[in-house]
Structure 1
Amino acid sequence: MSEFILEMNGISKEFTGVKALSNVSFKVKRGEIHCLIGENGAGKSTLMKVLSGVYPYGTYQGDIVYNGGVQSFSKISDSVKAGIAIIYQELALFPDLTVYENIFAGNEVKNGAFVDWNRTIVRAAEMLKKVKLNVNPEVLIKDLGVGKQQLVEIAKALSKEVKLLILDEPTAALNEDDSENLLQLLRELKNQGITCIMISHKLKEVIAIADKATVLRDGKTICTLDASKGEITESIIIKNMVGREIDDIYPKRADKQFGDPILELRDWSAYDPKLGRSVVKNVHLHVKKGEIVGIAGLMGSGRTELAQSIFGNPKSYKLQGELYLDGKRSAFKHPQDAISAGIAYVTEDRKGDGLFLIQDIKSNITAANLHEISTRGFINSNEEVSISNSYKQSLNIKAPSVEQIVGNLSGGNQQKVSLGKWLFVGPKLLILDEPTRGIDVGAKFEIYTIMNKLISEGMSIIMISSELGEILGMSDRVYIMAEGRMTGELSIEEADQEKIMHFATQ
């Protein structure tokens, strides 16, 4: 038996003339954790979709050798039967079904022609024990947090006797505790003989868990790094990912000059009638002109709810307290009021809330400010193209033209389109909610550079982030939230990860 459970040899894949993969080769040893890394658009997810049968045999060139035999998967169920399971960043669970129904969906435990629900629940409990998830199998998926839902997905894979588990950005939506729990589970699965391939943009996680790491760039295999040889380091990974060295992932601003407060909140609270509780409680906050203010905290701490309460209250919270913009007390009843006043909000969920994925770049960039390019209710298409091209160039959006459908762009380029959309409204205060979630190190550097440029031009930024390195690397001042309260405020000179986590757990 070969020491390699998987060999992908000379894989090439095209989409309407665009070469997504070019002669990619990739080998994974049995029982190892192998990370697949690269910038957005490098071909990582495409390669895994070829492997799992999403792109069936005949639509690509090259060979998949799995368990010693050449495979020709024509659909996903073929790879599942072979013992390959893939878990995507967007979880494929049924929110209104129970945990046990989700674990065995499509793989029901039967007694003759009928589903044996009692045995299903017992077996589901066994799978949950394997992934160390202590929940009732009869609870609904929608009542679980994202971290627990991720574990249910893995339990679902284990129920199918998986031999090769593929995880695509598994920790992108998880807090640090849930991320560490997931990584520890992968180590335990490795000890049980299960091979894992993990796609990740979080380099610290790659360094912590990978036995090997293969780097893709522009649809080509660049190298495979070996942890046992000391090759999996941040500097080596970045150099191979982007084709150049990035000495400091967080670009510095030489001249920091802050003006008067542009935004101030006094005793600010938001009550959510649907939840029946306050999601923001008695917050005091101020942001000066030319300042990047970071807001840190664990998931569920109220950071996004705070941003939404400032940005015209789209969730219809019951608000209390005072909001001052440029020293003048203000009240925004609708996001359009906030936009008109000079506030823009780049949501954490660019696919769900931030962009129209089925529309092109130009339609997305101009969507929040159509009156600027309209005359008597008609859009000036020439002006729309001109303005969109200017943002495409200034934000370095990598696409053939502004006619490109946004859903076909990489995550980093989608985020730049989302930024362009809100920059077009000409804000003085930009709220960025998880601005680099799910994008690679090269795209992150570009986003940070854009942020610094905007600040130098007089804009102010509130940055919500779950990455403490990002908070410490880009902020001028840091607020920390826990359970809807503002539990701490630190200058960047006194802030460190230990102090932030101390306040985040108050």
Structure 2
Amino acid sequence: MSAIDERPVLSVHGVGKSFFGVRVLGGIDFDVRAGEVHGLVGENGAGKSTLMKIIAGVQPADEGRIDYDGEEVRFAHPRQAMDAGIVTVFQEFTLLPERTVAQNVYLGREPRRFGFVDQRAMIERTGGLLDDLGVAFIDPRARVSSLTVAEQQIVEIVKALSFDARVISMDEPTAALSDREVELLYAIIHRLTARGVAVIYVSHRLKEIFDLCDRITILKDGRLVSTDPAEALTADELVRRMVGRSITSYFPDRPEDAVAGEVRLELNDCGNDFVDGVSLALRAGEIVGIAGLQGSGRTELVEGVFGVQPFARGTMRIDGAAARIRSPRSAVRAGLALVSEDRKAQGLALGQSVLDNALLVIRSVFSARTGAARRQVPGILGSLEISSRGVDQEARYLSGGNQQKVVLAKWLLTEPQIVLFDEPTRGIDVGAKYAVYQLMRELAAEGRSVLMVSSELPEVIGMSDRILVMRDGELVAELPAGSAEHDVLAAAAGAERPAHTPTGTGEGR
């Protein structure tokens, strides 16, 4: 990697921003240097996204200034920032799925020959940019809709490079990537910084922040907390500065006297088009984690249980009685809840209020209970410590962590006995994660059963009473609480014979 230039290529001085009289950024000083990865962290609502949008020209600052190459700049439109070499890769991609990679990279700037779009030149230039990043396996002529999420992420980066970018901001770039795809992104970032590109990196995943970043800036409540070299910080100190209090453990302790109760959910040789031969038993009062590589069938398993993709084979029993779950509605009536992976697309009606979202399932499945549930909403929202301007605020204006809490409130109102969590803390900050973990522990302490899918191994290991491992649509291993990451990964990848067979009974624990 090339040496980092100590002179900032981009610097922000005293930047402030307010919306509807509410100050969301105040007096922010921030800079990034050529060849550096600068981490930008903070809880949801800390002001990270607003600062990135100001830098990208999406929103104007109310006060302060931005210097680029030592000269003050003002961008009235994102295209002006991009033309200057400052490009942001947002979490929601801006690609057109039915167009090719090359067409997306040069959208609106297509090379022309004799007045017509020069398709050959556009493909060759895109291919050259892909080669420079070491990702020549992506075909410039391929439709974006045919690419994986990781490959689409790469196309966004290539698009940035086509503007001869000198500063690239990345917002939660690994939120939907597998571990192998994260490694590929790491390699691409190292290639960028070796060429002198400055990278602003926003992520809630602390491991990535310490793996990649040279310096780390922390924001809290729209204010600058600190900027330090990464090596000067520990994970515990970083968390303390982000949330304003010390979290000695990321995961609430298991109660020492906790004992699993009777079997609440039992699957015997269940299967559908995505999973096969699944047998497990989930007991009252326990948290069972499901680990596995992307594509192993983890989400498909919980969707089978919940009736999204009903099981076509095998038997299911709930509290000892045979159950036929053929739809989510029948699952809810049977006492199940599913906190889905994509809260924005599947968990919330973003244009509706917090109250309406909290009542979504009750109104749909238990309409006679709507009045009573409405009276319960303030208490449940308060217990989850949801930060909003009130129950009438639209869900779209909440932070990611608060949106996830509204999803949880929606399901808690149904009083479920079996709660299925699919990536419950994806894209939310450390403080909100801890609140979700506490809720899981409380559910288990009340005698409810929790089945949790997560791509974050520390989360699976830290929260689970037992760990079930999936590979190629099948349960291949059962591991005890506190198992090493190596053992979980080995079972998930088929690297060695698992030490425990997947009996799924949980007996003796």
TM-score, normalising length: structure 2? 0.93
**Aligned residues of 2:287 and 2:464 also touching (Cα < 8 A):** yes
Q: Which amino acid aligns with 1:13?
A: K
Match of residue 275 from structure 1? none
Query: What's the secondary structure of 2:169's corresponding residue?
Result: strand
Match of residue 453 from structure 2? 464
**Aligned residues of 2:263 and 2:284 also touching (Cα < 8 A):** yes
Q: Which amino acid aligns with 1:124?
A: T
**Aligned residues of 1:373 and 1:384 also touching (Cα < 8 A):** no
- The answer to whether the aligner puts 1:213 opposite 2:205 as a matched pair is no
1:482-497 correspondence runs (5 A): 482-493=471-482, 495-497=483-485
Query: What's the secondary structure of 1:479's corresponding residue?
Result: strand
Match of residue 390 from structure 1? 379
Q: Which amino acid aligns with 1:473?
A: G
Query: What's the secondary structure of 2:479's corresponding residue?
Result: strand
Deviation larger for 91-100 or 474-483: 91-100
Identical aligned pairs, as a percentage? 40
Match of residue 503 from structure 1? 491
Match of residue 299 from structure 1? 294
Match of residue 274 from structure 1? none
**Aligned residues of 1:361 and 1:388 also touching (Cα < 8 A):** no
**CA apart distance, 1:62:** 1.2
Taking the aligned partners of 1:177 and 1:215, their CA distance within structure 2 comes to: 28
Match of residue 283 from structure 1? 278
**CA apart distance, 1:371:** 6.8
Match of residue 141 from structure 2? 138
**Aligned residues of 2:133 and 2:191 also touching (Cα < 8 A):** no
Runs of 4+ with >4 A deviation: 371-375
1:53-202 correspondence runs (5 A): 53-56=57-60, 60-133=62-135, 134-202=137-205
Query: What's the secondary structure of 1:444's corresponding residue?
Result: helix
Query: What's the secondary structure of 1:281's corresponding residue?
Result: coil
Q: Which amino acid aligns with 1:330?
A: A
**CA apart distance, 1:70:** 1.1
**CA apart distance, 1:406:** 0.6
1:98-149 per-position Cα deviation (integer Å, ceiling 9, x unaligned): 2222222222122242210011111111111122221222222122211111
Match of 1:333 among 315, 321, 326: 326
Taking the aligned partners of 1:238 and 1:205, their CA distance within structure 2 comes to: 14
Unaligned 5+ residue runs, structure 2? 495-509
Unaligned 5+ residue runs, structure 1? 272-278
Query: What's the secondary structure of 2:145's corresponding residue?
Result: helix
Match of residue 260 from structure 1? 262
Label 1:349 to 1:223 Cα distance change in 2 as closer, same or farther (>3 A): same
Deviation larger for 406-415 or 175-184: 175-184
Query: What's the secondary structure of 2:156's corresponding residue?
Result: helix
Aligned alpha-carbon RMSD (Å): 1.7
Q: Which amino acid aligns with 1:476?
A: D
Taking the aligned partners of 1:149 and 1:66, their CA distance within structure 2 comes to: 29
Match of residue 224 from structure 1? 227
1:287-309 per-position Cα deviation (integer Å, ceiling 9, x unaligned): 11101000011111111111111
Match of residue 507 from structure 2? none
Taking the aligned partners of 1:223 and 1:336, their CA distance within structure 2 comes to: 49
Taking the aligned partners of 1:23 and 1:145, their CA distance within structure 2 comes to: 40
Query: What's the secondary structure of 1:489's corresponding residue?
Result: strand
Q: Which amino acid aligns with 1:319?
A: A
Match of 2:40 among 29, 32, 36: 36
1:140-184 per-position Cα deviation (integer Å, ceiling 9, x unaligned): 212221111111111111111111000000011111111122112
- The answer to whether the aligner puts 1:361 opposite 2:362 as a matched pair is no
Q: Which amino acid aligns with 2:320?
A: G
Label 1:62 to 1:384 Cα distance change in 2 as closer, same or farther (>3 A): farther
**CA apart distance, 1:479:** 0.7
Query: What's the secondary structure of 2:82's corresponding residue?
Result: helix
Label 1:371 to 1:203 Cα distance change in 2 as closer, same or farther (>3 A): closer
Label 1:173 to 1:82 Cα distance change in 2 as closer, same or farther (>3 A): same
Give the paired residue count: 488
TM-score, normalising length: structure 1? 0.93
Match of residue 24 from structure 2? 20
Query: What's the secondary structure of 2:153's corresponding residue?
Result: helix
Query: What's the secondary structure of 1:478's corresponding residue?
Result: strand
**CA apart distance, 1:17:** 2.0
Match of residue 497 from structure 2? none
